[in-house]
Every structure is written in C-alpha cells, then in structure tokens.
Amino acid sequence: MKMIKELIHDYAFFRGLTPEYQELLAGCGSNVRFNPNEFIFREGQPADKFYLIRHGKVSIDVYMPQRGIVTIETIGEGEVLGWSWLFEPYQWHSDARALVLTRAVAFDGQCLRDKCDADVAFGYDIVKRFAQIIIHRLQATQLQNLDVYSLQKRGP
Amino acid sequence: MITPNDPMIPQQYRIRQRQQDNADTFTLELEPTNGTVLQFAPGQFNMLYVFGVGEIPISISGNPATPSKLVHTTRSVGTVTNAMSTLKTGDVIGVRGPYGKSWPVMQSTGRDVVIVAGGIGLAPLRPAIYQLFAKREQFGKLVLLYGTRTQEDILYRQELEQWRARFDVDVYVTVDRATSDWRGNVGVVTNLIPRTPFYPPDTVAMVCGPEVMMRFTVQALQKRGVPTEQIYVSMERNMKCATGFCGHCQFGSTFICKDGPVFSYDQVESFIGMWEV
C-alpha cells in the first residue's frame, strides 16, 4: 500500500494532495499491466476504474462501421485515463487499448466514490482534479474539430 | 527608374529539383540563373513569381549554411500555388527577397529551445532547426513538437526520423486523426507541451502553424510557465509588396512583411484573435 502512496506522490495529477488524502486514494489503488493491443476497457462496459499511466501508451478508440477503428487520442506516461467512473451511468464511452506494454495504477471507482461521499472535502478535491482533465480534453477536442490544418495556407 | 537592386524586381531562378512531399505539398530547390547566391536568416521569406500567374510570399525552408540551395516548401491551395505545383525541373521562376525578421536562434544561446510546428508550419522553422543543430552545444534542451492532420500529411518525414534518432533533441510527433495502423501520438500538438522536458522560465519557444493553433499553443506554453516575451510566432497575412509600402499585410500597428513575420508574442498579443484586425 505504501508503494502506491509513493507512486501517487510522484505524479503531477495528484500534486498538492494532503498525505491523508493520498492515503485514502492509495487504499483504492492497485498495480496493473497490459500487453500491447490488450483492451483496458470497452465501450458500453461498466466504468468501474480509472488509471494513472506509469509507463507505456494507450489509445482511446471508437469503432465506426465504415471506417474501422478511429483513434481519438493517445494517453501516455503520467497521464490519467478515464473519468466515467465518477459520473452516472458509470459506463465507458469509448475503447481504450494499450499500444505498447503499459503499466498503470488502477483505482477502484466504487471504493473511491464511497470515500468521496463519506468525506465531501476529499470528494470536492477529486472532482476538481478530474474537472481539469475534462476541461483540457474539451479544449483539445475543440481544436481538433476545427481541423485547422485542412485550411492552412501561406499566400494565395 | 529601375535599378538592378530594386527590391520590386524579381531575379530569375531555375528549378534544380522538385519533390512532392505529400498529396498537396511540394518542395522546390532553386538556383539563380546569374549565379548570385541569396544569403538569408531562418524565418525569412521570398516573394515567388510564377510568370503570367502571380506572386506569393513563401518562407525559405532550406539550410542557411548552404544558401546556394534556395529551398521553398509550398502547399497547393490557390491559383498561384497550383500553377507553381505544375512547374518542372529546369523551369524558371521569379524570386525577390529575402524579407522579414528572423527566428531568434542566436538570441536563444544558453537557454532551452522549444520548437512547436503545425502542418506546413514546419517549413519556416526548418532553417532554425538546422541552425540550432549546427551550434547545438550553445543551447540547453532542444525540443521539437510537431502536429499535423493525419500520418499521410507529415512533412519532411525522413528528416524527422533522422532528428528523432539523435541523442541531443527530443522529437515528438502527433496527428489529429489516426487509423489503427498508426502507433504514434494522437491528439492536438498542445497536448504534447505538458509532457515534454524543458525548464519553462529559461526557455525560448518558436511557434509556427495556423493562427488558431498558435494561439492555443501559446496558452499551453504560458500555462507551463514560459514567459510571454520568450515565445515567438510567425504570422501570416496577405503580403504583396513585402517592403512595407502597400499596407496589405498591416496587422494592428505593424506590417507583417517588414516588422515580422516573426514576432515575440507580446508584440502581437493585443491584436491576435481580434476579428477586426
């Protein structure tokens, strides 16, 4: 358990979390690994975890019948994968697949939600951290949707 | 009266080599018909004249250390560039220049340097990259972040692979859209900024790409802690005379052709993103 707490301490996402909260979080974490091309989760499945990626790379994919698998984003070392565990209906909206050997800390969603409910200040802290990720992804998606390179030119 | 050095008179250059970089982007290597070599600084541009069609500003994308090879990378997007794309080896084109302010390569000595390029924005930055490599020991960390639309649109792919193989530069490439056969990063180029190793307070950033990409990139660099005055961008506007006379490229209180195209971000911050400018 101490090892997970130390791991949490090393990553920017958890920076500033009090030792007490680190302990709470670590109590819901476990080390996991995924082989290349192994699915971490699939669209429609219950979202019961989130992952702190320690090494490796994960692609977030959506399957489109006419186009096949389309990768929306890749997530790498030090980044957090998944926020659906925090919001109803607790269901994944995409697939996540390890592109290379990937090691992560998996945090149990139900365990964390229970702790968030029991300690509202802890819950608020966690929600703020995930809100930052959601804002970042939303802004990145806006830029992606603008398709800026398709209109790019220099001169007539 | 016209003199041989009149900045409005194009000199004739012959196309020595033509390379198709991707579906709509091509690179021309030019040589002067009169043997005069054009010295240039990274970030400067030339006015290229396709005879009988028109003249356009194109950044120089070759190596400043070998100015006898005048290199321009262009995307076919309009009448002149479409006509230019049909030119072949041996054809003659008009060139006047070089014009504009350059990337602050030598002013970055002793600091980390982060290059952020989007799409064909890598072309105006390539001369700066060559110069940074040539004097590599004079800089701290060197980071190149390159974003483009799809894997098929990656510019200078072979060179990017060579640069990536070096031990003294961190090269990250990302694409906005990908299919399952792409094993690299997917997402916008700004996503790479928090992931990369550099010391923000002592970093000079050089950014080139579509204006909206540059705005988002600057925000991400600022959020990471890079001081605004140490962030440089290359602006685009409709440049005609390239000497600051015609006013076509006026941008707020500046002329892109004469005062730019490279600006420190604090010079243009108040105008960039304004619909009216």
Give the max Cα distance, chain B. 62
Read off φ and ψ for residue B52, nearest 5 degrees. 85, -5
Point out the residue among A78, A144, A156 whose CB comes nearest to the CB of B176: A144
| CA B55/CA B74 separation, integer angstroms | 13
Render pLDDT for B222-254 as a digit per residue (tens, 0 to 9).
999 999 999 999 987 777 777 777 777 788 888
| CA B90/CA B205 separation, integer angstroms | 38
- Nearest chain B residue to A57 by CA distance is B185
- Nearest chain A residue to B223 by CA distance is A136
Across the interface, whether the CB atoms of B178 and A148 are under 8 A apart is answered no
Q: What is the pLDDT of residue B5?
A: 60
Q: What is the pLDDT of residue A100?
A: 95
In chain B, which segments carry CATH 3.40.50.80? 106-234
Q: Using a CB-CB distance cutoff of 8 angstroms, which residues of chain B are in contact with residue A100?
A: 183
pTM of the predicted structure, to 2 decimals = 0.89
Across the interface, whether the CB atoms of A149 and B188 are under 8 A apart is answered no
Domain A31-147, CATH class in plain words: mainly beta
Point out the residue among B118, B178, B186 whose CB comes nearest to the CB of A149: B118
Tell me whether B100 touches chain A (CB under 8 Å).
no
Q: Using a CB-CB distance cutoff of 8 angstroms, which residues of chain B are in contact with residue A150?
A: 149
On whether the CB atoms of residues A98 and A32 are closer than 8 A, the answer is no
Across the interface, whether the CB atoms of A140 and B187 are under 8 A apart is answered yes
In chain B, which segments carry CATH 2.40.30.10? 11-99
Q: Using a CB-CB distance cutoff of 8 angstroms, which residues of chain A are in contact with residue B217?
A: none
Q: What is the pLDDT of residue B34?
A: 87
Render pLDDT for B200-211 as a digit per residue (tens, 0 to 9).
999 999 999 998
Q: What is the pLDDT of residue A89?
A: 94
Q: What is the pLDDT of residue A85?
A: 95
- Choose the CATH number for B11-99 among 3.30.300.30, 2.40.30.10, 1.10.3720.10, 3.40.710.10: 2.40.30.10
Can you tell me the ipTM of this complex? 0.83
Q: What is the pLDDT of residue B2?
A: 46
Residue burial A8-30, b: 16+ Cβ < 10 Å; e: rest? beebeebeebeeebbebbbebbe
Q: Which fold is adopted by the domain B106-234? A: Rossmann fold (3.40.50)
| CA B129/CA B131 separation, integer angstroms | 5
Across the interface, whether the CB atoms of B179 and A156 are under 8 A apart is answered no
- Nearest chain B residue to A145 by CA distance is B176
The CA–CA distances, whole Å, from A108 to A46, A51, A82, B237 equal 12, 9, 12, 52
Q: What is the mean pLDDT of residues B131-135?
A: 96
**B188 min Cα distance to partner chain A (Å):** 6
pLDDT band of residue B27 (cuts 50, 70, 90) is: very high
Render pLDDT for B14-23 as a digit per residue (tens, 0 to 9).
999 999 999 8
CB neighbourhood size of B264 (10 A): 17
Q: What is the pLDDT of residue A148?
A: 87
- Three-state SS letters, chain B: CCCCCCCCCCEEEEEEEEEEEECCEEEEEEEECCCCCCCCCCCCEEEEEECCCEEEEEEECCCCCCCCCEEEEEECCCHHHHHHHCCCCCCEEEEEEEECECCCCHHHCCCEEEEEEEHHHHHHHHHHHHHHHHCHHHCCCEEEEEEECCHHHCCCHHHHHHHHHCCCCEEEEEECCEECCCCCEECCHHHHHHHCCCCHHHEEEEEECCHHHHHHHHHHHHHHCCCHHHEEEECCCCCCCCCCCCCCCEECCEEHHHHCEEEEHHHHCCCCCCCCC
Tell me whether B79 touches chain A (CB under 8 Å).
yes
The CA–CA distances, whole Å, from B227 to B200, B218, B219 equal 8, 10, 11
